[in-house]
Structure 1
Amino acid sequence: MLMPERVKYRKMHRGRTKGRSKGATSVHFGEYGIQALEPGWVSSRQIEACRLILISAVRKSGKLWIRIFPDKSVTKKPAETRMGGGKGDVDHWVAVVKPGRVMFEFSGVNKETAEELTKQVGHKLPVKVRMLTLEEE
């Protein structure tokens, strides 16, 4: 799973999911991109599941770029624990995704395959997605 090697502070606030993505809103590296249409947190496990789907299709003929990284820690307290006692331990890591963010880019496949891959990846993610092409910009 993806996670940072070290961070300045282990435990983070939840933050807000307001506004559009500041950068990474267009395809730069590959022919096709998968863009988020709504805000959310994408966990490192979900990124890995999407990577496995995409790499199996583009392994021999193409290339894959992952443009999100899970650098936000999410804490969780154990089940059946009384209130108090401070914030829980770090449970997993997430990437904060805002609308317009291109999460994955890939090349080396035809358009029909790219549309099918976008549909499969969309089932693994907690946000709605759409496919972008390099010509759309």
Structure 2
Amino acid sequence: MLIPGKSKYKKQFKGRYRQQSSQGSVLSFGHYGMKVMGYARLNSRHIEAARKVITKRLPKSSRLWINIFPNLPVSKKPTDVRMGKGKGSVEEWVFRVSPGRIIFELSGCDEETARLVLLRASAKLPVSCRFTYLGEML
């Protein structure tokens, strides 16, 4: 599971989704990528499930880059607890994605294989995703 080693603050506010992502919206490492088309909070279980699907179906010579890391703590109070008494403990770590963000990048395989693998991995995520490639960016 992906968990940050150390953070400046133990608990954070929920925050809001503002606009489309300009940071991380172009392919920087691989030739093919998975672009997010909506707003979502991806936790470490989502990322790990998608990574397992990708690595299982890719040839050994190919390379995978994960461009996101869950760094935002989400706290939750236990059930049957009355109001007040402070904020709950940290339940999970998430990464807030917005439209246009590329979360996975691939290289070292043909386009048809990359398209199929990333389509299957997108089924594991709670947000709709789109396949993108380097020729499309130019």
- 1:28-73 superposed Cα distances (whole Å, 9 cap, x missing partner): 1111000001111000110011111111223512000000010000
- Tell me, which stretches of 5 or more residues in structure 1 are unaligned? none
* CA RMSD after TM alignment: 1.1
Which position in structure 1 is the counterpart of 2:122?
Answer: 122
Which position in structure 2 is the counterpart of 1:94?
Answer: 94
- Tell me, which stretches of 5 or more residues in structure 2 are unaligned? none
Instruction: Specify the SS of the correspondent of 2:123.
Output: helix
| Counterpart mapping for 1:31-70 below 5 A | 31-58=31-58, 60-70=60-70
Instruction: Give the alignment's TM-score, normalised by structure 2.
Output: 0.95
Instruction: Specify the SS of the correspondent of 1:114.
Output: helix
Inter-partner Cα distance in structure 2 for 1:96 and 1:20: 12
Instruction: Give the alignment's TM-score, normalised by structure 1.
Output: 0.95
Shift of 1:79: 1.1
Inter-partner Cα distance in structure 2 for 1:59 and 1:9: 41
Q: Does structure 2 retain, via aligned residues, the 8 Å contact 1:58–1:106?
A: no
- 1:7-41 superposed Cα distances (whole Å, 9 cap, x missing partner): 11110111011201131111111110000011110
Shift of 1:99: 0.5
Inter-partner Cα distance in structure 1 for 2:119 and 2:60: 21
Moved more, 51-60 or 74-83: 51-60
Which position in structure 1 is the counterpart of 2:75?
Answer: 75
Shift of 1:133: 0.3
- 1:65-120 superposed Cα distances (whole Å, 9 cap, x missing partner): 00001000000111111111110000000011011000000112222221211221
Which position in structure 1 is the counterpart of 2:7?
Answer: 7
